[in-house]
Amino acid sequence: MGNARNIAFWVVLFLLILALFNLFGNGQTTMNSRTLSYSDFIQKVDSGEVGAVVIDGEQVQVQTRDGQNWVTIKPEGEVLNETLIDTLIAKGVSVKAERQQQSGFFSVLSLWLPFLVLIGIWIFFMNRMQGGGRGGAMGFGKSRAKLLTEKHGRVTFDDVAGIDEAKEELEEIVEFLRNPQKFSRLGGKIPKGALLVGPPGTGKTLLARAIAGEAGVPFFTISGSDFVEMFVGVGASRVRDMFEQAKKNAPCIVFIDEIDAVGRSRGVGYGGGNDEREQTLNQLLVEMDGFEANEGIIIVAATNRPDVLDPALLRPGRFDRQVQVPNPDIKGREKILGVHARKVPLGPDVDLRIIARGTPGFSGADLANLVNEAALLAARIGKRFVTLDDFEKAKDKVMMGPERRSMVMTEDEKKLTAYHEAGHAIVGIHVPQHDPVHKVTIIPRGRALGVTFYLPERDKLSLTREAALSKLASAMGGKAAEELVFGPENVTNGAYSDIQHVTNLATAMVSQWGMSDKLGNINYTSTQESFLGSQSHFNASEESREIIDQEVRRLVDEAYDRAKTILKDNWQEMENLAQGLLEYETLTGEDMMRVIRGDAPKTGDDDDDSSDKGSAVPSLTAIPKTKKPKEPKGGLEPEPSA
């Protein structure tokens, strides 16, 4: 390796000398250049005579294609704006900018700037190639993939907690890596790639390492952004190198973190997309097709934006398997705390279950951080154990701190979300032709604090008017519940996407689907295909537009009233469900029905305690209640809960 550095040194020196020679050789010509008026300069640009310009403050050095040098001064206040620069570039003029106040000598030097930059890049590369050794990880070739060996600590599935479904799905891959022949003999089709999808800090990297650890195979890791920060062609060759290396070490796991950095859909974005990234992505696709499924290489990739990925990546034979890695629920959090608390002596007053309850919205990484901070705090004051008090202080630190990677909810937000989601679900149960609830959760996802999933999740091909009206009502259920429980002045912007959804649905009903008597069976929109995708435009008269607005408004208002009535009529169910959500955070459709009836969920584990059932959710820190739940108003049975 030292050798490579030496060679680099000599080559650079040689090139520098060469550059200097050239500099003094023809430097003079530029120095005695004649002046040119600005308008003449523009003319010369238009007529294509100009070959290169160097912009140096208000002075512009102009070199014509026939080798003449001119200097022109920009008029006071005139900026060489983007359009002029664009025109210059379009005319094939090489444009350089220089820092102001440079002497003639330096302005000549600037002609050599690109050359020097190239050398710089080259040095940078040489450093990279050798620099992989940092931290003991072995860098290889140009691919920058790091090989993590057992020396870095073997990670097994035991180290990953609270995401059991994901682990189960990956179990098969472990089996395959342990014994590839066994699988291929039976003709079973092994996935080549698995895509781990989930918010930051949920343990995707950890999970991938655990697969390798369980199977006892090498683990290569690289980040998607390592492929794209470079220059044209480099990303693609890194991909090639990476696969070569993987093939040499098969069976093995190659982990590509943040695959969305390379894997974004091709041909979108401004300026016709990014050639370098597309090339890299194409190379990745080619390589993934290029090895046989039984070679024993599994590519595991992670992303939190599966929606932006190029569909080609998700096709069979590539990342055809998607594994969801969600933020942990209350039980998951307890288990993750358990994993990280293994190495920490806990005081007798520490109950991980209670800590789990007080940390809604924490990701696995947040929890690991929490335990670590608590241990540090205890150590700082010389304690022998970590006590509950340390955890409380640590929690504040994690919640405030810059290291927090995921969305962390306060108790108040949690409560509001529980009622909001319960509102959706209860209305959904009580309207006709509504899809059954598949799952309700108050664990934050993306920008949403909670989600109610209905089955089927996809839009059906046909939708009756009745079903559409039901959808409108259940979508308004969330906000209706917020208003009933916390009062109209305390509703939040959490219903943002519900409102968007309702508006779109109601608009489609009246303007496209002929579901409004007033507007009749007329499609008032026209759809345009453009490079941005298809877009609908209203294609209606002023008059009809007004009626469309009125009708949409009517539908939405009616849906909101309907939702409120349903919730008032079924208030006990609503309370039961909200309390159940506060306690269990995620409920399947079946468990939800049990909770609504007042029973405990079936899947809730039974090491149970009816003691802390119901009302007060013990919190790690007492959060002052800012919002007092309002007595639900209007014709409501008195409801003495909470």
State the Cα–Cα distance between residues 295 and 624, nearest whole angstrom.
59
The residue (of 313 and 416) whose beta carbon lies closer to ligand ATP is 313
Exposure string for 67-95, b = 16+ CB within 10 A, e = fewer: eebbbbeeeeeeeeeeeeeeebeeeebeb
- For residue 324, the cross-strand partners are 197
- Kindly state the number of chain residues that form the binding site for Zn ion, as judged by CB under 5 A: 2
Q: 480 to 499, contacts with Zn ion by CB under 5 A?
A: 498
202 is in an annotated binding site: yes
The residue (of 201 and 218) whose beta carbon lies closer to ligand ATP is 201
Shortest distance (Å) from residue 376 CB to ligand ATP: 15
Dihedral-angle region of residue 258 (phi above 0 means left; psi in -120 to 50 means alpha; beta otherwise):
left
- CA 499 vs CA 354, 488, 602: distances in Å: 36, 16, 34
Select the binding partner of residue 217 from ligand ATP, Zn ion, none (C-beta < 5 to 8 A, by kind).
none
Q: Tell whether residue 477 is a contact of Zn ion (CB under 5 A).
A: no
E strand spans, 341-444: 437-441
HSE value, Cβ hemisphere, 13 Å, CA-based, for 261: 16
- For residue 255, the cross-strand partners are 221, 300
Q: Tell whether residue 302 is a contact of ligand ATP (CB under 6 A).
A: yes
Query: Which burial class, exposed, middle or buried, applies to 111 when counting CB atoms under 10 A from its CB (0-12, 13-18, 19+)?
Result: buried
- The correct pick among 142, 144, 204, 471 for binding ligand ATP (CB under 6 A) is 204
Q: Tell whether residue 202 is a contact of ligand ATP (CB under 6 A).
A: yes
Residue 603 CB neighbour total at 10 angstroms: 14
Shortest distance (Å) from residue 445 CB to Zn ion: 12
Shortest distance (Å) from residue 257 CB to ligand ATP: 5
260 is in an annotated binding site: no
Which one of the spans 117-125, 133-141, 157-165, 226-234 is the region binding ligand ATP (CB under 6 A)? 157-165
Select the binding partner of residue 204 from Zn ion, ligand ATP, none (C-beta < 5 to 8 A, by kind).
ligand ATP
Which one of the spans 169-177, 343-351, 361-369, 599-607 is the region binding ligand ATP (CB under 6 A)? 361-369
The residue (of 447 and 460) whose beta carbon lies closer to ligand ATP is 447
The residue (of 133 and 153) whose beta carbon lies closer to ligand ATP is 153
Q: Tell whether residue 263 is a contact of Zn ion (CB under 5 A).
A: no
Positive or negative, the CA dihedral 517, 518, 520, 524 is negative
Q: Tell whether residue 478 is a contact of Zn ion (CB under 5 A).
A: yes
Q: Tell whether residue 213 is a contact of ligand ATP (CB under 6 A).
A: no
| Calculated CA dihedral for residues 333, 335, 337, 339, nearest 10 degrees | -150
Q: 429 to 458, contacts with ligand ATP by CB under 6 A?
A: none
Select the binding partner of residue 257 from ligand ATP, Zn ion, none (C-beta < 5 to 8 A, by kind).
ligand ATP
Q: Is 574 helix (H, G, I), strand (E, B) or coil?
A: helix
Residue 245 in contact with residue 139, Cβ under 8 Å?
no
6: which 2 tokens?
């030496």
Select the binding partner of residue 162 from Zn ion, ligand ATP, none (C-beta < 5 to 8 A, by kind).
ligand ATP
The residue (of 313 and 422) whose beta carbon lies closer to ligand ATP is 313
198 is in an annotated binding site: yes
Shortest distance (Å) from residue 123 CB to ligand ATP: 30
State the Cα–Cα distance between residues 288 and 291, nearest whole angstrom.
6
For residues 558 to 597, the per-residue mask of contacts with ligand ATP, x marking binding by CB under 6 A and - elsewhere, is ----------------------------------------
Active site residue 421: yes
Q: Tell whether residue 318 is a contact of ligand ATP (CB under 6 A).
A: no
HSE value, Cβ hemisphere, 13 Å, CA-based, for 68: 12
415: which 2 tokens?
């409560």
Q: Tell whether residue 339 is a contact of ligand ATP (CB under 6 A).
A: yes
* H helices, E strands: number in the chain: 22, 16
Shortest distance (Å) from residue 420 CB to ligand ATP: 27
State the Cα–Cα distance between residues 523 and 508, nearest whole angstrom.
9
Active-site option among 287, 334, 413, 421: 421
Q: Tell whether residue 413 is a contact of Zn ion (CB under 5 A).
A: no
Residue 406 in contact with residue 363, Cβ under 8 Å?
yes
Rg (CA), the chain: 32
Residue 403 CB neighbour total at 10 angstroms: 12
Which one of the spans 2-10, 63-71, 158-166, 239-247 is the region binding ligand ATP (CB under 6 A)? 158-166
Select the binding partner of residue 193 from ligand ATP, Zn ion, none (C-beta < 5 to 8 A, by kind).
none
Who's near 497: CB < 8 A, 6+ residues apart? Answer: 448
Select the binding partner of residue 491 from ligand ATP, Zn ion, none (C-beta < 5 to 8 A, by kind).
none
Q: Which residues are annotated as a binding site for ATP?
A: 198-205
Q: Which residues bind Zn ion (CB under 5 A)?
A: 478, 498
Q: Which residues bind ligand ATP (CB under 6 A)?
A: 160-163, 200-206, 257, 302, 336, 339, 364-365, 368, 405
Which residues carry out catalysis? 421
